[in-house]
Structure 1
């Protein structure tokens, strides 16, 4: 199980310290270019399996779309890509977090600088584990969690909200949030815009940041999305699906939001059981 760079479980480096701006100089571009390929190479080397199944959720699908469409040797090692709440564009996203990141991107940059964004601090863990279980505070915790991802009270174990809040959000870089804010209102996915033609030229050998084309990905792909997802909006998913060259399966769960794919009470019946069946049928 992989964890994106900058989260609680992925905050170490061979020589960079987490209090340095160099450590946090990344977005999902670097995750797709370096981290996912390295993870897949590691798995292949240590298991002896030439092909593996990849399951991604949210940004985990974004990274995969980029890697599998730009690095053919990695794409060849993926037998099936299972994309849960797939995110390739956020033109229609209704997520308050994304909207605020777009609206306040200059403020975020000015006040948070070049380091981490929403880290999983000891204070946040204290709030999640000690305060969220309290009846009066619990509603606030629930509202914060659902404001980011969407709300379905009937499909979430509400007695576990304190646990969810203790672990989510797990942190990322300011640069990653700025990258997402650059994509708001856009129907396409593109690399991080460094802010000037000169800097873009240094990074990409062109004056603007390049677009990613999912049509270049030839990996067998199965997708699941939620009808009430605020982040992976159904309209964005609808536009994505025809672009997937080798699309083998799709299902929309009408009442699902973004976190139902992780915490939904019936996620095994709606999603996981189907993934297992597809894997077993392709062994």
Structure 2
């Protein structure tokens, strides 16, 4: 029963309520910047929203282009959600003279339209994807669109967590895109997960087949909460007593990693509305398989016909990381419950173009984007490296 409660709390806390165009635009405007919303139609019919950050000055001609990609259960709002705007990477990069774009993959609130399918009425078809499609379709289509608008030949890539997953899927599956990315800065990239330090995630992943069967039985194709349902759920579970509040806090920390001087739980609660979002259940299952196997590979549907339809082979194989040619800088935390130091080292062994790797002592998974000192520990290093080019 305690594990079930933790699973419910986990998804309620991490998913939260989704950001809308108006909310993001209002936040960015209040922070003193301007927005441009761009729509990209993917080759398989999804309409994705890109958000371009502007200020009073136009980006100089040939300004470095930056594409920032979010993690699971997040939107591009993760890069502008900090209460202190000085700690928001999108603003830092824009102030440094870069042309900044925030990506939103399929299924996030800003990217929930399809040319044929409604996300609710045609849920089975709409949500039938994993990170494989994000890496092989969403990312290349967004990159091509941005390069066409900016008249540039290359861009720089920043990816957090799933943003790292999708980056490596792209560069291993479509190697020609290595030539379109000058540098990649990957923050807690979720690639190898077999040594995840969160025991709770291992417990959940070990029950992946049972969870999948329940989702299929109930017709669940996505995970997410409307604002009203989120508030109701959180009040019902976490707002009744100090004991339940501690369970909620403990559950979050059992997934992301231990609390430390970098972690600001109050800031996490206040900013959650600006970045939390939805995901397909198939994305979750892919991560469960990656945790259980320790491999970086597509979701195995355990169905030859489905695998052949998706990948062209009866059984999917590991992504070929030897194809990756982009110069990469990686940041990871020693207290991260998901991306462990051991798995970060495995990634470095597999990818020869990782030129820099920064280990942040006692930082957990969310500290890597919401930590109190994220500006000096991560953002300044990214900008310094860009300026050295």
- Do they superpose with TM above 0.5? yes
How far does the alpha carbon of each residue in 1:2-37 deviate from its partner, in whole angstroms, 9 at most, with x for none? 123223333222331112210110010111111111
1:1-283 matches, within 5 Å, as 1-19=102-120, 20-96=123-199, 98-113=201-216, 115-122=220-227, 123-125=229-231, 136=242, 138-166=245-273, 170-282=277-389
The alignment of Structure 1 onto Structure 2 pairs a total of residues equal to: 282
Output the CA distance in 2 between the equivalents of 1:143 and 1:203.
38
From the superposition, tell whether residues 138 and 49 of structure 1 become closer, same or farther in structure 2 (CA, over 3 Å): farther
Deviation at residue 183 of structure 1 after TM alignment: 1.8
User: Which residues of structure 1 form unaligned runs of 5+?
Assistant: none
TM-score in terms of structure 1 length: 0.89
Secondary structure (helix, strand or coil) at the match of 1:239 reads helix
From the superposition, tell whether residues 247 and 100 of structure 1 become closer, same or farther in structure 2 (CA, over 3 Å): same
Please tell me whether the aligned partners of residues 129 and 166 of structure 1 are also in contact (alpha carbons under 8 angstroms). no
Please tell me whether the aligned partners of residues 98 and 180 of structure 1 are also in contact (alpha carbons under 8 angstroms). no
Output the CA distance in 1 between the equivalents of 2:385 and 2:239.
39
Output the CA distance in 2 between the equivalents of 1:263 and 1:134.
27
From the superposition, tell whether residues 21 and 90 of structure 1 become closer, same or farther in structure 2 (CA, over 3 Å): same
User: Which residues of structure 2 form unaligned runs of 5+?
Assistant: 1-101
How far does the alpha carbon of each residue in 1:33-75 deviate from its partner, in whole angstroms, 9 at most, with x for none? 1111111111111111211110001111011011012212322
Please tell me whether the aligned partners of residues 183 and 189 of structure 1 are also in contact (alpha carbons under 8 angstroms). yes
Please tell me whether the aligned partners of residues 142 and 161 of structure 1 are also in contact (alpha carbons under 8 angstroms). no
How far does the alpha carbon of each residue in 1:54-99 deviate from its partner, in whole angstroms, 9 at most, with x for none? 0001111011011012212322110001011122211111335632
Output the CA distance in 1 between the equivalents of 2:240 and 2:273.
14
Output the CA distance in 1 between the equivalents of 2:237 and 2:357.
40
Output the CA distance in 2 between the equivalents of 1:144 and 1:32.
30
How far does the alpha carbon of each residue in 1:198-237 deviate from its partner, in whole angstroms, 9 at most, with x for none? 4333433332112102121000111111111110111111
RMSD of aligned residue pairs (Cα, Å): 2.5
Secondary structure (helix, strand or coil) at the match of 1:16 reads coil
Output the CA distance in 2 between the equivalents of 1:132 and 1:51.
46
Secondary structure (helix, strand or coil) at the match of 2:119 reads coil
TM-score in terms of structure 2 length: 0.66
